[in-house]
């Protein structure tokens, strides 16, 4: 992601309620976030909230746009409503790590950035020899603040179906309005930027797709070329 122009950011792992209210709806928060007793703090369910929250109550110079950040962090989720086969194993867990990316940009550029963010995730999974597809969410399935959202899904040979490994969202100016993030423009007047986010990779789900799609009949696992430098140039796991 750094090679693709993003700045690496180490986010706070706890955020205040003012940021929570700005980045998501109450119904989403209730089903996802852990609150710390006696404190105005929540454990992050995803680092995109910390990264967007970094800009709360700020005026950005137009020349500073776009802001493109990426982070790798622990995440904590209640996973309320999780059920079925994914309850066991690593598909849905209360603590995991994830790499996320966010963009703060001019309104007219947000749809172009949406396509770029989505492609970053698709490119990543394809280097691991994992078949993926993208699925656009219908309007009735969108969270309250989202303008457009697409899931990236990986193929599961075990289940014989695709499953979600990431989600790319354009939130328009909804988060910027709630968090009071503004951009200075002397000619046309100040305005609210658009914000976007996308999952680069959540390793637990990537691990499922990696093992299932690279598993051989004899029980060994083929190591894709992109990962071999991290395995001391081995070509397989036995």
What is the C-alpha radius of gyration for the chain, rounded to an integer number of angstroms? 19
77 part of the active site: yes
Q: Which of the following is catalytic: 48, 71, 178, 205?
A: 205
Distance of alpha carbon 13 from alpha carbon 41, whole angstroms: 10
Are the CB atoms for 42 and 14 separated by under 8 Å?
A: yes
From the candidates 62, 79, 109, 164, give the one annotated as an active-site residue.
Answer: 164
**Residue 160: count of CB within 10 angstroms of its CB:** 7
As given in the structure block, the two tokens for residue 128 are 């691991």
Structure tokens at 60: 């950005």
205 is catalytic: yes
Catalytic status, residue 164:
yes
Q: Is 228 a catalytic residue?
A: no
Name the active-site residue from 110, 167, 169, 178: 167
Q: Answer yes or no: 92 catalytic.
A: yes
Catalytic residue among 77, 100, 110, 153: 77
Catalytic residue (one of 16, 92, 180, 212): 92
Q: State the alpha helices, DSSP H only, in 15-68.
A: 17-23, 26-32, 47-53
Nearest to 114 by CA among 210, 24, 196: 196
Active site residues: 77, 92, 164, 167, 205
């Amino acid at each position: 992601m750094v090679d693709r122009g993003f700045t690496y950011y180490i986010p706070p792992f706890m955020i205040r309620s003012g940021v929570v209210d700005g980045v998501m709806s109450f119904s989403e928060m209730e089903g996802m976030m852990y609150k710390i007793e006696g404190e105005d703090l929540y454990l992050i369910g995803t680092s995109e909230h910390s990264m967007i929250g970094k800009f709360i109550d700020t005026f950005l110079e137009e020349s500073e746009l776009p802001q493109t950040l990426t982070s790798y962090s622990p995440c904590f989720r209640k996973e309320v409503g999780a059920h079925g086969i994914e309850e066991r194993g690593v598909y849905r867990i209360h603590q995991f790590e994830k790499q996320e990316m966010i963009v703060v940009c001019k309104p007219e550029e947000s749809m172009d950035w949406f396509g770029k963010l989505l492609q970053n995730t698709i490119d990543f999974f394809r280097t691991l020899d994992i078949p993926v597809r993208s699925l656009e969410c219908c309007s009735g399935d969108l969270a309250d603040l989202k303008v457009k959202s697409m899931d990236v899904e990986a193929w599961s040979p075990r289940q014989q179906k695709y499953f979600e490994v990431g989600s790319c969202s354009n939130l328009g100016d909804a988060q910027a309005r709630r968090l009071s993030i503004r951009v200075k423009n002397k000619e046309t007047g100040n305005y609210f930027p658009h914000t976007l986010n996308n999952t680069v990779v959540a390793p637990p789900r990537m691990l499922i797709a990696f093992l299932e799609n690279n598993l051989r009949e004899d029980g060994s696992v083929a190591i894709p070329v992109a990962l071999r430098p991290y395995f001391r140039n081995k070509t397989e796991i036995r």
